[in-house]
Amino acid sequence: MNIRYLDREEHERSRALYEEIFIEDEKDFVDAYYRIKAKDNEILAAEADGRIVSMLHRNPYTFRLRGELVPADYVVAVATKVTFRHQGLMRSLLTKALHDMYGQRYPFTFLMPADEAIYTPFDFRLMGNDDEEGLAVLDGEKLAEDYDLYPEKDAAYKRRHIDWPEWESTPMMIRLLYLPDFVKRIGAERAQSLKVKITDGILPENNGVFVWNFTEEGSTLAPVEEEPEICISIADLGSFLCGMLGAEELPGLAASGNEDSVRERLERVHVLNGIYINETV
pLDDT at 256 over 70: no
Question: Which residue spans of the chain are classified as CATH 3.40.630.30?
Answer: 2-176
pLDDT of residue 279: 73
pLDDT digits (tens, 9 = 90+) for 8-48: 999 999 999 999 999 999 999 999 999 999 999 999 999 99
pLDDT at 174 over 90: yes
Q: Which amino acid is at 253?
A: L
CB-based burial label for 160 (10 Å; 0-12, 13-18, 19+): middle
- DSSP code of residue 248: G
Torsion sign over Cα 73, 76, 78, 79: negative
Q: Is residue 245 within 8 Å of 40, Cβ to Cβ? A: no
What dotted CATH number matches 180-267? 3.30.1050.10
Q: Any idea which architecture 2-176 has in CATH? A: 3-Layer(aba) Sandwich (3.40)
Phi, psi of 117 (to 5 degrees): -60, -25
- % the chain with pLDDT above 70: 96
pLDDT of residue 264: 95
Taking Cα atoms as reference points, which of 203, 223, 204 lies closest to residue 212?
Answer: 223
pLDDT digits (tens, 9 = 90+) for 44-93: 999 999 999 999 999 999 999 999 999 999 999 999 999 999 999 999 99
pLDDT at 129 over 90: no
Q: Is residue 104 within 8 Å of 80, Cβ to Cβ? A: no
- Please tell me the least confidently modeled range out of 120-124, 150-154, 159-163, 222-226: 159-163
Question: Which residue spans of the chain are classified as CATH 3.30.1050.10?
Answer: 180-267
Position 280 confidence tier, pLDDT thresholds 50, 70, 90? low
pLDDT of residue 149: 96
pLDDT at 135 over 90: no
